[in-house]
Structure 1
Amino acid sequence: MKFLLDFLFRVLQLFTEPYFLVFLAIVIIALLKRKNKCKNLRIGVFIVTVIMVILIGNGFLGKLISGYLQKSYIRISEIKNTSAQNPIIVVLGGGVVDIDNTEKLHTMSYSRMVTAYQLYHEYRRNNQPCKILISGKGRGHISEAELFSEDFKKMGVPDSDIIKEDKSMNTYQNAKFSSQIINRMNPSSLYLVTSGFHMKRSVALFQTFGLKPIPQASDFIDTEITIFPNSYNAAFTFVMLKEVVGIWQVQLYNIFGMNK
């Protein structure tokens, strides 16, 4: 059952890839062209393709998805008075890039780092203990957790307040492996730091493993309504579409108890 659903969602993820959608439309039109009786259907496929390009490229679809993914976290992400004792701040890795054989954190990682540090600083300036758990291995030679750790130390966070979870390769594993560490530490409260568009799925997965994180979205993305389609809107729309499919996958797997 799980294998079948994994395959289904892998196929569904293809429909969030722009090149695949264009390729699919071309193939369908080419196949239909071989049958003269399908002229109206070819025209229909072409019109649907054009409409989708417009909706994705002019920012309309992205604007709707952006609200669905992020609206709930805009106000809750504002750092308020910290009163919880012995909290853990979980920061999810945002990827690693390799430039000229030098591995650096992806640009999304830095907003997450700043948000985590701001929250950590609120506790420390009141002389309250606080830990930062960095979750993520990434696909480079150096783990995201290690790269995050190096930068946190430069910001003044002592090594004793940093916990590295450097095995996870995706959000599901972020939640699974982090939960094992968190349950052993039994903190009074748990904060989860990641990008706004990524928060809904992340929270759902952490809840799957019995945790109740307080979301702290580090950054938000949105599209701009434009007359003419552009690549900016298209890029962010497809990123958010992938998240929507991922959320559906989490919800369905939870129904069948397949996320443990």
Structure 2
Amino acid sequence: MTVNVLLALIVLAAVLARFKRRRCSRALLALALILLLAAGCGPLPVWLLAQLQSGYATTAPISWGQRNAIVLLGAGSVRLAGSSEVEASLFAYGRISKAAELYRECRHAGRECKVEVSGGDARWLGQPEAAIYAGDLQRLGVDAADLLLEPHSMNTWQNAQFSEPLLKTYGADRVLLVSSGFHLRRGMLYFTHFGIHAVPVRADYVGGELSWLPLSYNFAMADLALHEYAGIVRYHVYDAMGWNVQATKPGAL
């Protein structure tokens, strides 16, 4: 996203220079340089990610209910090169590990606990994320009988929308939402829309890296953050226009 904006600014500056609009051309080139340094050298992704994740940097002790649901949000899957095998993506393992950790804590406290795994086959690899992650969770000690699979959602909005009936059927009196720190703000917004009062639990935390030279890593982190902000802005715009699915009354779950 940020690289595309940079290229667009440079191309537009070149076009304006061709038509002898040199002042406008120089202004666009200066803007492109500022964006290059702000994003590539780290200040922009550092600030954007800090704003997204600041509320989830620390996790308060969990107060377990009698019937607890740990909702694990998907983070993609990949097909292994040269084979038909599909496994969780690099970005998913922190979430899977945190969900298993919470499950063990819940069981140690003597409470009933289910892990709801939400994620469909968004990349058309032949297996939904929910099924792939379920195998990893079982290898980490989660009982198969305590898994609730939601294998149809293709994005975070559908994660929330399709999780609501599962959680209501189970009758959870405590819901924990497990995802990456940068993703929790948007995830909580969507789950709240569908009446799911959840406790956010951060599985991992990312940040930009300050550098004297532009780094591709920082551009990737800036794009990651901008994707989350775009989802949040889109939600509010759609809500104002009446385009969102009707909200569930607060406290319905």
Structure 2 length-normalised TM: 0.91
Q: Per-residue CA shift, 1:201-250, capped at 9, x if unaligned?
A: 00000011111110001001101222222112121111111111111111
- In structure 2, the partner of 1:201 is 186
Q: CA deviation at 1:185?
A: 2.1
Q: Deviations over 1:114-152 (max 9, x none)?
A: 111111111111221100000001322111101111111
The aligned amino acid for 1:30 is: A
Aligned to 1:4: none
Which residue in 2 is equivalent to 1:28?
12
Q: Are 1:130 and 2:113 matched, yes or no?
A: yes
Counterpart contact for 1:203–1:213, Cα < 8 Å: yes
Residue of 94, 100, 109 corresponding to 2:75:
94
The Cα of 1:91 is off from its aligned counterpart by: 0.2
Give the Cα separation in 2 of the matches to 1:256 and 1:95. Answer: 30
1:202–1:232 distance in 2 versus 1, CA, 3 Å: same
**Code of the aligned partner of 2:71:** V
* Structure 1 CA distance for aligned equivalents of residues 109 and 206 of structure 2: 32
RMSD: 1.4
Distance 1:134 1:119 in 2: 14
Letter in 2 for 1:57: G
**How many aligned residue pairs are there?**
241
How do 1:1-260 residues align onto structure 2 when only pairs under 5 Å count? 17-36=1-20, 38-75=21-58, 77-78=59-60, 80-100=61-81, 101=83, 102-138=85-121, 139=123, 140-260=125-245
* CA–CA separation in structure 2 for the residues paired with 1:257 and 1:176: 17
Q: Structure 1: how far apart are the matches of 2:78 and 2:64?
A: 37
The CA distance in 1 between the partners of 2:32 and 2:7, in whole Å, is: 11
Distance (whole Å) between structure 2 residues aligned to residue 186 and residue 64 of structure 1: 39
Which blocks of at least 5 consecutive residues in structure 1 are unaligned? 1-16
SS of the residue 1:259 aligns to: coil
Q: 1:58 to 1:23 in 2, by over 3 A?
A: closer
Q: 1:82 to 1:122 in 2, by over 3 A?
A: farther
Question: For 2:165, what is the secondary structure of its paired residue?
Answer: helix
The structural deviation recorded for 1:255 is 3.0
Identity %: 30
The separation in 1 between residues aligned to 2:217 and 2:120, in whole angstroms, is 29
- Give me the whole-angstrom Cα distance separating, in 1, the residues matched to 2:195 and 2:240: 15
Q: Alignment partner of 2:112: what SS?
A: coil
SS of the residue aligned with 1:121? Answer: helix
TM-score, normalised to structure 1, is 0.88
SS at match of 2:67: coil
